[in-house]
Amino acid sequence: MGKAKAITATARKLAILVYRTLKDGLLYQDPGAAAYDAQHRLRVIRRLRQRAANLGFALIGGLLVTMMVPVYNINQVSLRQAIVPLRLQGRMNATMRFIVWGTMPLGGLVGGGLGQVLGLRPAIALAAAGGLLAFLWVLRSPVRTLTREPAPEAAG
């Protein structure tokens, strides 16, 4: 909390106390340090519980990604090697690396721009939604109907 907010909150608290005292003739009763300590303890416990829950979700998500990335990589590399002639595999691999790794700096720039324009949370939500929709390319392609590896092309 900033200095200005703290001063405003203190002034508001004092104004309410003075108003009640003048209007109702009530005397101020200090709840004591124990009451403030109890409130603070409850806030700390609530924050720790939320952080623990967030950590659990992060660990589960990280575990799933860690398990699924090798499965994806093995399948996509195997399919690319099966459908591309041996003499072109070096070029195909270089092209794929450029497409995947070469676009990451552009994504960083776009993400930074979105973060500035939309704010951090909306930019992250937009990126997450885009990531969740990435499967649509495969869903609409003939790759998902493959039941066996395609025959290699004849050398030409």
Domain co-membership, 108 together with 143: yes
Handedness of CA 30, 32, 36, 39 (dihedral sign): negative
Greater confidence, 65 or 113? 113
Which residue segment(s) compose the domain that 122 sits in?
Answer: 103-149
Domain co-membership, 9 together with 47: no
Q: How confident is the model at residue 152 (pLDDT cuts 50, 70, 90)?
A: low
Rounded mean pLDDT, 129-148: 84
Locate the DSSP E strands across the chain.
none
What is the C-alpha to C-alpha distance for residues 55 and 50, in angstroms, rounded to an integer? 9
Domain co-membership, 58 together with 24: no
Q: How confident is the model at residue 153 (pLDDT cuts 50, 70, 90)?
A: low
Domain co-membership, 114 together with 145: yes
* DSSP symbol at 67: H
Q: Into how many domains does the chain fold?
A: 3
Domain co-membership, 127 together with 144: yes
At residue 156, the pLDDT reads 47
Domain co-membership, 13 together with 44: no
Q: How confident is the model at residue 150 (pLDDT cuts 50, 70, 90)?
A: confident
Domain co-membership, 113 together with 127: yes
Q: Does 154 map to a domain?
A: no
At residue 32, the pLDDT reads 83
Show the tokens assigned to 37.
């300590």
Residue 80 CA from chain centroid, whole number: 30
Instruction: Determine contact, residues 123/115, Cβ cutoff 8 Å.
Output: yes
Domain co-membership, 37 together with 26: no
Q: Does 94 map to a domain?
A: no
Domain co-membership, 72 together with 56: yes
Domain co-membership, 47 together with 25: no
pLDDT, tens digit, 9 for 90 and up, residues 84-116: 888 999 999 999 999 889 999 999 999 999 999
Q: Does 132 map to a domain?
A: yes
What is the C-alpha to C-alpha distance for residues 150 and 84, in angstroms, rounded to an integer? 10
Q: Does 92 map to a domain?
A: no
Domain co-membership, 25 together with 37: no
Q: Does 156 map to a domain?
A: no
At residue 110, the pLDDT reads 94
Average pLDDT, the chain: 86
pLDDT, tens digit, 9 for 90 and up, residues 3-52: 888 889 899 988 988 888 888 877 777 788 888 888 989 999 999 888 88
